[in-house]
A and B are shown apart, each in its own frame.
Chain A
Amino acid sequence: MDRNRWLLPLLLMLFVGLGYAVLSIPEPVEGLPKMLVDNMELGGVSNPVTAVLLNFRGYDTLLEMGVLLVALLGVWSLGGMPDYHESSPGLVLDIMSRQLVPVLIIVAGYLLWVGADAPGGAFQAGALLGAAGVLLLLCGWRIGNKCSGLPLRILIVLGLGMFVMAGTGLLLIEGEFLQYPPPVASELILIIEAAATLSIGTTLAAMFLGSRPGEADK
């Protein structure tokens, strides 16, 4: 308790200092946003956020797919929760998820497609897929044993793998890592985004499950 007496004044000071700093930030310099607008033609997509995420700063997104994968590796390495008891889903959840899951999948596809020139994109679509997966898991659905090994791992690794493969391929063809040639930039971005969407959805659902499928039964 003694420690906490000093905490509040300290944090207030921090707030005042940071607040003052925020208010003192000058008018934006006309640098980067203008450069972005000038280069949008070459970016392959007309939604500036998608262009930044997948093209101009695509390398950030590549590493971020790595973060997602690593988090799942961490979750799996901790093992499952053996006495995770499954209750039956109940009527409401059962019917609702039957209705919702197909809708979620369609909306995810739409968001993925529309991300090229309007708000949307791989992460939003992936989050929806993940939600669909969580609903299914809550209803007691489990991935079949046949698919829980290598096929599932491939699906999870697909996003990062596609990114790295595309980057390396472009390095060999175009000369720079992740350098999309402008005529096919939009197609490449869509392929990478589609792979990323699948991976994100699967990874999120797998994180929700906690244990590696097929491992908890042993």
Chain B
Amino acid sequence: MSYVYLYALLGVGLFVLGLNALIVHAHLMRKILAVNVMSTGVFLVLVALSSRNEGILPDPVPHAMVITGIVVSVSATALALILMLKLNRATGKNELPDRSRD
């Protein structure tokens, strides 16, 4: 029973770690990876908590949600990667320019 919550906590940890990386790192590849780590964290929370009840089959709805989420995340990553390559071609850099304080 309790180990399920351990996985869920791990998921929250991944979410926060990913968020940290997304904010701290400038390189776009790292940012894209950070978003993926964040989404993995969310998926872990969803799946882990679905088997809280011992003895009963895990709730399939979160599993289906995670599969949907993975496909969405793959699509978004593909778009992000091609944008990064294009940006690298246009500016020669793999970073977003520092936004001027507005």
Contacts and interface: CB of A to CB of B under 8 A. Distances in A.
A176 interface: no
A28 interface: yes
A53 B75 contact: no
Interface size class of B (residues with CB under 8 A): 35 or more
Interface stretch (A68-76, A86-94, A185-193): A68-76
Contacts of A207: 78, 82
Nearest to A14: B16
Interface in B1-59: 5, 8-9, 11-13, 15-16, 19-20, 23-24, 45, 49, 52-53, 56-57, 59
Contact of A28 (B59, B68, B82, B89): B59
A15 interface: yes
Nearest to B53: A28
A96 interface: no
A210 B82 contact: yes
For this complex, into which size category does the number of interface residues on chain A fall?
35 or more
Contact of B82 (A11, A51, A78): A78
B78 A36 contact: no
A140 interface: no
A131 interface: no
Given A27-B52, A49-B64, A67 B82 contact: no
A67 B86 CA distance: 21
A23 B8 CA distance: 8
Secondary structure of the B contact surface, majority rule: helix
B12 A18 contact: yes
Contacts of A57: 61, 64
Nearest to A27: B52
A48 interface: yes
A184 interface: no
Interface in A47-66: 48-49, 51-53, 57, 60-61, 64
A52 B16 contact: no
Given A53-B68, A64-B68, A23 B20 contact: no
Contacts of A32: 59, 61
A7 B20 contact: yes
B24 A4 contact: yes
Interface string A188-210: 00000000000010001001001
Contacts of B67: 49, 53, 121, 123
Contacts of B53: 27-28
B16 A22 contact: no
Nearest to A37: B57
Contacts of A60: 64-65, 68
A28 B51 CA distance: 9
Interface of B: 5, 8-9, 11-13, 15-16, 19-20, 23-24, 45, 49, 52-53, 56-57, 59-61, 63-65, 67-68, 70-72, 74-76, 78-79, 82-83, 85-86, 89
Enumerate the 8 nearest inter-chain pairs by beta-carbon distance, A residue then B residue, closest first.
A71-B75, A48-B60, A52-B64, A207-B78, A15-B16, A53-B64, A18-B12, A49-B60
